[in-house]
Structure formats: C-alpha cells, structure tokens
Amino acid sequence: MTPLPEPSTTAAPPRPASRPGFVRREWLPIILFVLLALLPFAAMLGPEKYTLSLVTRVMIFALAAISLDLILGYGALVSFGHAAFLGIGGYAVGILAAHGFQDAALQVPVALLASGLFALLTGAISLRTKGVYFIMITLAFGQMAFFFAISLSAYGGDDGLTLASRSKLFGLSWLENDRFFYALVLALLIGCYALTRAIVASRFGRVIRGAKENPVRMEAVGFSPFRYQLAVYVISGMICGLAGVLLANQAEFVAPAYMAWQRSGELIVMVILGGLGSLHGAIIGAAAFLLLEEILSGYTEHWKLIFGPFLVLVVLFARGGLLGILAKVRGKSGGGR
C-alpha cells in the first residue's frame, strides 16, 4: 500500500480581520475623537462660536452618557436619578463661585467629592434592591436632590444661579477662550472614555458583567457583587459630576432642572439610542439626540412628537441602537460571512 502523506505542519494563513470597504469596529472611537479634534478648524469656515458651543455641549452630555452606560450597559443598573450627579457638579461650581472660590483647581475636587459621597450613600441603599425597585429608589433620591436644590433660595432657588464668568484655571482665565474650553472638554472626554474602557476590560469589569448575568454564581466563586457594584456606581457618579462642572461652565448657569428626572430619562435615551454597553455608542447617542433636538426644534417647539416615533423605530428595528444599524450594514457588505 502507498503510505499516506504526512500532514502538513504549516498553519493556514489567518483570514483578514477587516472587510473591504469598511472600517473595523475598534477604529470607530478613534475616528470619532479625530473628527472632534478637527472640528474647530472646520468651524472657522462658518459660525464658529455657535458650532463650538453646540459640539462642546454634545461632548459634555456624551461624558454624562458614558458614566451612565458604565452602570447601565455593563451592570444592568437602570438609574433614573443619574442627573442628580450632573446637578451636584454644577452646583459645586455655582456655590463656590458665589463665595469667591472661582478656581477649577478647587471646584473640581469638591464636585468629585460631593458626587462620590452622594453616590456612596444612595448606592449603599439602592443596590440592596433589584429591578423596578432599584429604578424607583434611584428616582426618589434624584427627586430629593432636585427639591433640595429648589430650596436653596440663597443660590437662586427654582430660578437657578447665573455665574459671573467661567471658572479660573490656576488663577488664569483660560476657560473664557471657547477653543481652549473645547479642547479641555475633548481631552476630559477622551480620558474618561479610556478610563471606563480600562475598567470594563479589567477583572473588576468582568466581575461587574458577571454580576449582571448571574450574581449568585459570582458569590459562589468568591466575589461580592454588592461591593463591586457600589464601587462602579461611585465611579459613575463622579464622572457625571465632572460633566456637571463642565456644563455649568459651558452655560455659565446652573439650575435644579439639571437634576430633574426628565434629564435622567434623556441620558438613558442617549445610551440606548447609541448602543447599550459600548461606551462610544453613548457618545454617538448623545450627539444624535442633541443634534436632532437642535434641528427639529428649529421647525417646531413640539419636536419630541417627531423624535419619539423615531426612537421607537430604532428600538424595534435596530437592535443595539445606531451601532446595531452600523453592524448590520457591515454584515451585509461582507456577504453574510
């Protein structure tokens, strides 16, 4: 008999990871940040001040949406009081400025400390509940913060508090320059995105995701889901508090409306619209929400009557939000491979 040939030891060349004509998903965040970095140069060709103000606001809310996606997308913690942290950060700026402390070097640590402490106290209670009970108790804490801000008559009460100017930065008025403020917000957005992505990819993040799927099994292998969830809840609250500091400076105004449950609902919509559990999807969702609001409100004050059905269609037919639509387009282009 003819002996069988020896099996080849040469491994087959790996298939290319990317598909022709489309960018790998890993490059999407980089493309987003590059576009945001180049936008100020493009803005010089048009209404620069308006464009920088609008996109700066988009990035600030993208930062808040990322903080919510960290607990909602990866931990299944549906917080309906997340905007409270936005207001706490804003009021830290407003109250300190009203007493003559206008430097961000002081305002930011105070805002982070206040947001983290509020998250620690409310999270220690809220995380002992699950499901709809967690939603309701976070809503209750958010409304408590909202009505507490209304009661601050010395700081404007329901009318809010107007800042005399933007915060100083180490005694200098750099934040008054719109381009510098834009660059600072972009740098903080990139930094917080990198931080949250590192958290998700770490063992800490794997515990959070494991607790989302099966908390009992996580306890059985020696991890306490409560402690990990509380820690990520505090981190999320502090990042959102930082967004509140930036929002107060961008608008030069802070009001209890920052803490309203409707604002928390808008943050949830941004996360779902972009793509739950993706982080950069939160950036896309925030941009889509605020840009659609800006465009539609130019036609009618009842723009939400148009936006509502659009959101319903996205939820029904685009699993994974706008990122899900992109994934379907990429799938079709690859011939179903």
Q: Could you read off the pLDDT of 137-164 as tens digits, one per residue? A: 999 999 999 999 999 999 988 999 999 8
What token pair was written down for 97? 């400025």
Within-domain flag for 256? yes
Terminal alpha carbon distance of the chain: 42
Predicted structure pTM score: 0.88
- Tell how far CA 307 is from the center of its chain: 20
Alpha helices in the chain (DSSP H): 28-43, 48-72, 83-98, 104-126, 131-150, 178-201, 203-213, 215-220, 225-251, 261-274, 280-296, 304-317, 321-333
Task: Assess if residue 125 is contained within a domain.
Answer: yes
User: How far is Cα 178 from Cα 81, in angstroms, rounded to an integer?
Assistant: 31
Residue 3 lies in a domain: no
Domain assignment present for 14: no
| Separation of alpha carbons 75 and 65, rounded Å | 14
- How many angstroms from the chain centroid is the CA of residue 8? 51
Tell me, what's the pLDDT at 331? 65
Residue 280 falls within a domain, yes or no?
A: yes
Mean pLDDT score across all residues of the chain: 87
Choice between 316 and 82, residue whose per-residue pLDDT is larger: 82
| pLDDT of res. 180 | 94
Whole-number Cα distances in Å, 162 to 14, 95, 150, 156: 60, 10, 14, 8
How far apart CA 242 and CA 235 sit, in angstroms, is 11
Per the domain annotation, does 44 fall within a domain?
A: no
Tell me how long the chain is: 337
Whether the pLDDT of residue 44 is over 60: the answer is yes
**pLDDT score of 23:** 42
Other beta carbons within 10 angstroms of residue 29's beta carbon come to 19
pLDDT tens column, 196-234: 999 999 999 999 998 888 888 888 888 888 999 999 999
- Give domain status of residue 301, yes or no: no
Query: pLDDT tens digits, residue range 275-302?
Result: 888 899 999 999 999 999 898 888 888 8
| Structural domain range at position 127 | 57-296+311-333
Domain count, the chain: 1
- Contact (CB, 8 A) for 252 and 163: yes
**Residue 283 included in any domain:** yes
